[in-house]
Amino acid sequence: MRYTPIQKEIYTQNRQNLAKKLKPNSIVVLNANDLMPTNADGTMPFRQNNDIFYLTGIDQEESILLLFPDCPQEKHREVLFLRETNEEIAIWEGHKLTKEEAQERTGISTIYWLDSFKKIFHILMGKCEHVYLNSNEHTRALVEVETRDSRFIKWCREYYPLHNYQRITPLMHDLRAVKSSAEVNQIQTACDITEEGFRTILKAVRPGIMEYEIEAEYAREFIRRGSRGFAYTPIIASGFNSCVLHYIDNDQPCKEGDLLLMDVGAEYGNYNADMTRTIPVSGKFTSRQKAVYNAVLRTLKAAKSLLKPGVLIDDYHKEVGEIMTKELVDLGLITMTEVNNQNPEWPAYKKYFMHGTSHHLGLDVHDVGNWDNKIEAGMVFTVEPGIYIREESIGLRLENDIVVTPNGQDDLMKNIPIEAEEIEELMNNKAAVEVA
């Protein structure tokens, strides 16, 4: 295992927290993700379903978690089903969890092999009234591939049509939005690995380097430090590419005078970092680039200070929009006349800052959470304002990851260079060493 796992007591507590939210006499079933095919006999690297991982810490395919808190038989109140291994599987695929290892990892006492699931499930369905099943209800999800959970929903409703079916997703969104200190530590490690990658890049960037060479340097640093790699497809965008919000081709040369926008993050133990930095390819910002840079940085600092318990996310985004509006007026990009006559549904600042400022961060990069709820201590958010001036080929975004505390917030990326002068100094020190 590449990462140090969270202690099993955290997963036990997560299951207990979920049990408190269930209707009486309820069963919960969550399935692992599929191994996704590529072509022929190829498969993509396995990525566990984050809900079952949150409740068990199990990072293995074909796993099923069954919870029945009110079951008359105590041993069936928490049950984990695993794929049974054998000598041939061990030869071809490597080690799979034993029952004893799964008990130690999860804190679940009752472990069965997967071929026992239908028999055990049938017995327990005769004792319960409500059945909670899982689905992907992220507001930005485009679900076109049928998952193990979705196939199970069809099967379960066909064979057991008279039970009361419930959605587990809203409950999981509420629980996962607030991180334990152990989860925050995993995210912090992912941020620290990301920092090492960024500091390496500051020494490597020069006019003529290809965007994909920079991507490769990040990947090298992330993997050698215990990460499985990027938390998401990285954006390495130079020049006009920096104005394309989800640019991922990463195949162009970085030119003298260009800005280089890098939206990257390392993954650690299934938890994610999400960082954006924008640096000058030549090692020094032009006066215009620095003016825009500092406007974005001021907005980031102001936005961070607004993330406090009790704040509504919608209100937070409106306040950030007002801060950005002033910055854009000062830069001469919009006028007060445009502001006074703006459409409230699409304010004037949206011409140059068209995306949101923050999203939940955790097991998913765009992590789950109820956007109608107030901010609570333990929530982790990105803060990522940007200004994109396509007519000047200036795309500038800065992003840090913030955990909300009872009295304010803590910046998990506070050690990653972000001030314009520090960026220039680190890049130019690199150049001096190379010349020497």
Name the residue range of residue 155's domain.
8-177
* Both tokens assigned to 5: 């796992």
397 is catalytic: yes
Residues of the chain with pLDDT under 70: 430-436
pTM: 0.95
Asked if residue 400 and residue 260 are part of one domain, the reply reads: yes
Is the distance from CB of 248 to CB of 209 less than 8 angstroms?
no
Question: What is the crossing angle of helices 420-435 and 181-204, to 10°?
Answer: 50
CATH number at residue 413: 3.90.230.10
Do 122 and 187 lie in one domain? The reply is no
Q: Is residue 49 part of a domain?
A: yes
Asked if 79 and 216 sit in the same domain, the reply is: no
Q: Are 256 and 285 part of one and the same domain?
A: yes
In this structure, what token pair is assigned to residue 418?
A: 């972000």
Same domain, 54 and 99: yes
Written as six digits, the tokens of 371 are 């956007």
Q: What is the CA radius of gyration of the chain?
A: 24
282 within a domain of the structure (yes/no): yes
Of 160, 177, 194, which residue constitutes the final position of a domain? 177
Does residue 311 sit in the same domain as residue 423? yes
- Which pair of structure tokens corresponds to residue 408? 């304010």
Kind plus residue range of the DSSP H or E element containing 52 = helix 50-56
Is 41 part of the annotated catalytic residue set?
A: yes
What one-letter code names the amino acid at 337? T
Please check whether residues 144 and 200 belong to one and the same domain.
Answer: no
Q: Pick from 144, 177, 210: which residue ends a domain?
A: 177
Give the total number of structural domains in the chain: 2
- For tokens 């699931």, what's the residue? 117
Structure token pair of residue 168:
């587990």
On whether both 314 and 417 belong to a single domain, the answer is yes
3 state DSSP class of 59:
coil
Structural tokens at position 149: 């959970």
CATH at residue 80: 3.40.350.10
Non-local (6+) Cβ contacts of 329 within 8 A are 335, 336, 339
* Active-site residue (options: 217, 367, 384, 401): 384
Residue 170 in any domain: the answer is yes
Among 151, 167, 220, 355, which one carries the catalytic annotation? 355
Q: Is 399 a catalytic residue?
A: yes
Active-site residue, selected from the candidate residues 15, 105, 173, 359:
359
**Residue 432 has what pLDDT?**
44
Length of the chain: 436
Active-site option among 140, 246, 345, 372:
246
The 3-state DSSP class for residue 388 equals: strand
Q: Active site includes 388?
A: yes
User: Are 224 and 148 in a shared domain?
Assistant: no
160 tagged catalytic: no
Q: Are 123 and 250 in a shared domain? A: no
pLDDT at 349: 98
Active-site residue 372, yes or no? no
Asked if residue 212 is part of any domain, the answer here is yes
Amino acid identity of residue 293, one-letter, is Y
Task: Say which amino acid occupies 429.
Answer: N
Backbone angles phi, psi at 237, to 5 degrees: -125, 115
Which residue from 236, 230, 234 is spatially nearest to 281, judged by alpha carbons? 236
**Nearest by Cα to 423 from 201, 258, 275:** 201
Residue for token pair 């996962």: 176
Q: Which of 177, 212, 237 is the last residue of a domain?
A: 177
Catalytic, 246? Answer: yes
Residue 3 lies in a domain: no
pLDDT at residue 430, as a whole number: 61
- Within this chain, do residues 148 and 214 fall inside the same structural domain, yes or no? no
Assigned domain for 2 exists: no
Do 171 and 110 belong to one domain? yes
**How far is residue 139's CA from residue 136's CA, in Å, rounded to a whole number?**
9
Q: Which of 70, 167, 161, 81 is nearest to 121 (CA)?
A: 81
Which one from 199, 366, 410, 411 is the annotated catalytic residue? Answer: 366
Query: Is 344 a domain residue?
Result: yes
Give the CA count within 13 Å in the CB-facing half-sphere of 214: 32
Q: Which of 221, 263, 267, 401 is catalytic?
A: 263
- 1 within some domain: no
pLDDT tens per residue across span 234-256: 999 999 999 999 999 999 999 99
pLDDT digits (tens, 9 = 90+) for 195-205: 999 999 999 99
CA distance 405 to 58: 29
pLDDT tens by residue, 314-347: 999 999 999 999 999 999 999 999 999 999 999 9
